[in-house]
Structure 1
């Protein structure tokens, strides 16, 4: 894995200034405000009072608005559907509204018809109408309304709320909990209303973290939460109480945090590739001593040695000690927090050159408040030596463990034959199942990978067969229908597994007979099985990226004459590119020499009648002749996974709207074609496949010129692939397991290769976490190419390499 970090380029600094989306700003502001009030709740759905901007005399206006806009409809519903509701005013007497206020309300009244879809009271009344119709959707709308009524909509009309609760009370006796569970995939996981109207609030792990940081004592916080739940944004909230040294091994993680900080006006410093504190650079918000540009008035030069204003310094691992000493020059140790993102990187190796750096950082650390943050952080009782060394250095310190397994979505795992992976489908022997249950109770983050549909089949079967005591039945466990959600169903599943020992053989045999593969085949991802990869890009993790890339190029079975044509065009373009490089090099040498003798200004004033002007024109003419000879390269679309032609060829039907295909612009293809890399990579790109090599060495003066050119070409290729991955333009990315620490891109599907048999369990979980990081409502899957990986995931490891190394290095 390439852990070398370079200083930010001008382009990277400029990229930090691009504002983040408005929705992201709302989340960041909530995190900042949430440090002070951890129970903060935001909901942008409007009540009618919010819509009309009425913030005074709440009870009076709730009465008035109810009578004006809702009472007639509710009376109609009560008569038609036999509902009971008695209107009781909140105030004894409605006073007359001022004329100026009446005019303002009338103006809103004119727009109301067009905006009813966005006003929560009207939304609720529409749900009442749908609930009242006895059809297949009755239970769906009942459950949805039960959930959304618990949201924190500001100034929601109390009369409407009371009426809705009355309606739910009337219908609840007709609602079957078993039916809700049976349809939980549609009712819960794919329910667009729950997402649309849900409250925005801090994750529980963020609340616990903020509370922990507020304590006065020195502290070591072990912060474990699933990927994609805002761990790396938490420092933004903490920065309003403590100054932060944020350390990450993956540059893009630091860049994303920096961008978020700048968008929120937080003063930051950047420390990538630092030899000493002199290499640290301040963003303008953090600049205290600076020189202004006389012409523009903007900041021209910053004194980076003055860091009083810095609230967060973002550092790579190698630069930590420089960053720490820099911040200690301006702050007391107790006012600082070292927030270390993914501290277990490289600890899955028995030996690694990076280990000495990690050891030195830990041993030389002088900051008494440390947060170790990872989705797979070892538990407190496993890293005794690490904790003892911290307590020895900071005697009055406390250790706090924050563990979260929150998940709103399911990212199912499929075995090598396409079957869903769940404990009751894997373990034939109950003793092994018991070991699995113990493991899951210690590490519930794996629950996000348990398929909800298969879990509900198990729950309903166990309840139907009467294998349980009454206190474990569905109706007893889920006394409140509002408690039926994704995580509660999965916790109930684990509970049931622990209660079925007596009947387990019968249960296991039943599900073995009934199970069906989710997909009949999942291996042929460039041909027959491509259509199963939907909604977004796929990542394929392997030890040998070249082997997998060549394999899929081969099995795509591109006709020989098509390959010959592509290779011929590529070779011709490569030759032309060599000529272009040569004449550009010659021209640069000539103009540099001339500029050295005449000066740059003289070069700018070359007249049309001079020899120099003629030479420049000849150069441009020769360059243009070569450029027009470069041929456009295109692959027959039937070889591009999930293109229209490809889908017609392999599944004999028109384009599947969910099947995902690549979308690489012609100018990007041209850039890749011009690089001095193997032709295989170029053809794979035309198919929408990027290959991420991790073993590319650095450019060095000890290499030959050709070697350095080759290294630079591959690095340029990787940079372009990363940009395409960020923009979700590639169909498939083939990468090594170490790549998981270098990306937070959103993948919809993931493959774990057979050659990763020796991957540690923690790193395997990190790999699974690359999939399904954002949108809740897409279809996701993890596809394991070896069933041995399933046992590794579901059972405890005898020796945990990360734990061994943490105790060895951090002592």
Structure 2
């Protein structure tokens, strides 16, 4: 992976000023406030009282609203379905409000009617009505509504009508004895993972691992925090909370990860600086919020020039690996070392290599570090006992015993692994003996992040089978005894229960293994023909294909698309013609820009001292143009007019309607396709990049690959191509991205599916988990999958690895 970082461009600085969406802003403010109260949460679900903006004696209004909107409906439901009547302790007289209060409520009656689908009490009443209806009709759907009610009633929705809540809980309790927990487990995938209501009304709070990091950082004295949590669960945003009281140096290898945090911090008006490509503290640049000494622009009144050497107010420095020591020295010039936290994101990058040019830098950073508070954050950080030498060296250096180990499996979503046959992977499918599966269970308990890849639907089948057929199963492990209440059943508790059941199968394991092996079926008949008849299996969002030989996969995608030869030749001819025109355009633009580039060279620095992009200025200040310049302009316009528009027939754009119809898949739901505008296609066609990349772009496929070009023009062309692909990936406009292993740590886009190529069989266990972490990063309840082309990696993931390169290097380099 290329870890060398350049300073921020003007465009990158400008991008930091764009505030995050309101939904993200709420989360950022919550994290920041979480420093003072780690148990903070919010739930902005609308209730009647919240909508009415009523305050004061709320019980009076609860009674009034219950009588007005719900009492009659609950009475009708009771008469129809014959459940026990719940009597409230209240006065015989109806609740009376003052005339002004009644007028106020009357004014919002119409709005309440229109918003019944959004007001929480009406939603709960709808769920309850559906439960009772389906229960009476003996439809299995009643389980869905019952389970949903048990879960959403656990949420901390403010000012929920107490009378209605009490009655609903009473009804749930009334029917509870007639319900069997195994029936809920049987349909757990639908009830839990695909139940959008659970996420729609849930509380927003800190993850448990975030709470622990904040709590440990408050402890006095030097400390080392080993912070392990699954990807996509907010580790990178934890510094937002820590910055409330600590100075932070956030070190990351991937530039866009640092910029993402920087943008979040700027959105909450934190005072930041950046250290990318710095040889000394003089290279550090301050954001305006952190500027203490600056010169104002006389005309606009805005900040014109910042004195970057004055960093008293800097709260967070975001740094690349090479720039850590300059960043440390800069921060220590204005703060005490004990008030600073070194927050190192993904510290194991490059440690999977026996030798790497960055190892010396990592070693120097660690040995010369003077910050006594260190957080090492990664989903794949080695366990404490594996890196005992490393931990010991830290404690000796800083004379401390404060060592904290955070190991989290916080993750509600499931991202199943499919083997090369398209079959779901789980321990009871993989191992043919109890001894092997026992070792696997022990390994998974130590690496609980793997649980997120356990398919809930297949787990449920195993649980039901064991409870029904394993006579030796102890009573306490029977499903009706193991879960005391239905609301205890969730994704994590089921996966933990599954592991416990596996350990109860010693005497019958071979029989159980044989049964499930014979019943096993692939999720899809085929998944590899991703540009033709298997594309429909890629749903909901983009897919990433990780490979060592990127060009091989790229060529396969084009060849397997079965585009007619004549069409290919015609498009290729147009591409070559456009390449010719682009070369002439570049030559003319170069001539037109020569004088301007020289004139602009002194003005070209932006407010942060970085280079500024040049705009075409073909007209002189007095509005006249020289004859020669005018001729060049006319020639330029003529060339641009000759550029050929190139389009690929929709039949060959994966998952377009025409493509699905061609492969008889037009009735497929949620098949994801690309959305590439004509202007983007035109931009790519004018770049001096391989024709293969241009063909793939028209199909909705982008390629992320490091290129070793020395030619300046070639380097710029591929850099521009990569920037466009990044934009398309960020906006989810690409159907597929093919990426080399350089991007295992370097992509943070939203992917719903991923392929791990055959040629990646030598990935370490930790790097495999990192590769898996590229998929399923969104919060949406969608279908995800990781599709393995080589099954050896699966066994490597599910078994204990003793000879870990990352562990060796941590104990060697950081001691």
TM-score relative to the length of structure 1 = 0.95
Q: Distance in 1 between matches of 2:420 and 2:619?
A: 66
> Aligned residue for 1:686?
698
Measure how far apart 1:607 and its partner are.
7.1
> Aligned residue for 2:226?
222
Matches within 5 A, 1:463-478: 463-467=467-471, 468-478=473-483
Matches within 5 A, 1:547-696: 547-589=552-594, 604=620, 613-650=626-663, 652-654=664-666, 656-696=668-708
Q: Distance in 2 between matches of 1:590 and 1:166?
A: 82
Long gaps (5+) in structure 2: 602-615
> Aligned residue for 1:192?
196
Q: Distance in 1 between matches of 2:403 and 2:54?
A: 48
Question: What SS does structure 2 have at the residue aligned with 1:741?
Answer: coil
Measure how far apart 1:102 and its partner are.
3.1
> Aligned residue for 1:704?
none
Change in 2 beyond 3 A, CA 1:602/1:645:
closer
Q: Distance in 2 between matches of 1:603 and 1:416?
A: 61
Q: Distance in 2 between matches of 1:247 and 1:806?
A: 17
Q: Deviations over 1:12-43 (max 9, x none)?
A: 11111111110001111111111111111211
Measure how far apart 1:450 and its partner are.
1.0
> Aligned residue for 2:793?
789
Measure how far apart 1:553 and its partner are.
1.8
Residue 319 of structure 2 is aligned to residue 299 of structure 1: no
Matches within 5 A, 1:144-155: 144-155=148-159
Q: Distance in 2 between matches of 1:316 and 1:288?
A: 24
Change in 2 beyond 3 A, CA 1:548/1:713:
same
The one of 517, 529, 543 equivalent to 1:538 is: 543
Change in 2 beyond 3 A, CA 1:615/1:156:
same
Q: Distance in 2 between matches of 1:655 and 1:508?
A: 36
Native 8 Å contact 1:60 1:91 kept in 2 = no
Measure how far apart 1:627 and its partner are.
1.1
Measure how far apart 1:785 and its partner are.
0.3
Change in 2 beyond 3 A, CA 1:50/1:572:
same
Q: Distance in 2 between matches of 1:603 and 1:626?
A: 19
Residue 242 of structure 2 is aligned to residue 238 of structure 1: yes
Native 8 Å contact 1:63 1:91 kept in 2 = no
Matches within 5 A, 1:326-337: 326-337=330-341
Measure how far apart 1:552 and its partner are.
2.0
Q: Deviations over 1:615-658 (max 9, x none)?
A: 232222111111111111112222221122221222x1426341
Measure how far apart 1:90 and its partner are.
6.1
Matches within 5 A, 1:271-286: 271-286=275-290
The one of 488, 491, 502 equivalent to 2:496 is: 491
Measure how far apart 1:60 and its partner are.
2.6
CA-based RMSD = 2.1
The number of aligned residues is 796
Residue 378 of structure 2 is aligned to residue 378 of structure 1: no
Question: What SS does structure 2 have at the residue aligned with 1:270?
Answer: strand
The one of 217, 229, 233 equivalent to 1:213 is: 217
Q: Distance in 2 between matches of 1:186 and 1:371?
A: 38
> Aligned residue for 1:174?
178
TM-score relative to the length of structure 2 = 0.95
> Aligned residue for 1:703?
none
Residue 505 of structure 2 is aligned to residue 500 of structure 1: yes
Native 8 Å contact 1:386 1:810 kept in 2 = yes
Measure how far apart 1:7 and its partner are.
0.8
Residue 771 of structure 2 is aligned to residue 767 of structure 1: yes
> Aligned residue for 1:72?
72
Change in 2 beyond 3 A, CA 1:89/1:595:
closer
> Aligned residue for 2:21?
21
Q: Distance in 2 between matches of 1:561 and 1:68?
A: 72
Q: Distance in 2 between matches of 1:730 and 1:69?
A: 48
> Aligned residue for 1:108?
108
Question: What SS does structure 2 have at the residue aligned with 1:382?
Answer: coil
Residue 139 of structure 2 is aligned to residue 126 of structure 1: no
Question: What SS does structure 2 have at the residue aligned with 1:237?
Answer: helix
Measure how far apart 1:201 and its partner are.
1.0
Measure how far apart 1:114 and its partner are.
1.4
Measure how far apart 1:96 and its partner are.
5.6
Q: Distance in 2 between matches of 1:602 and 1:207?
A: 58
Measure how far apart 1:67 and its partner are.
2.6
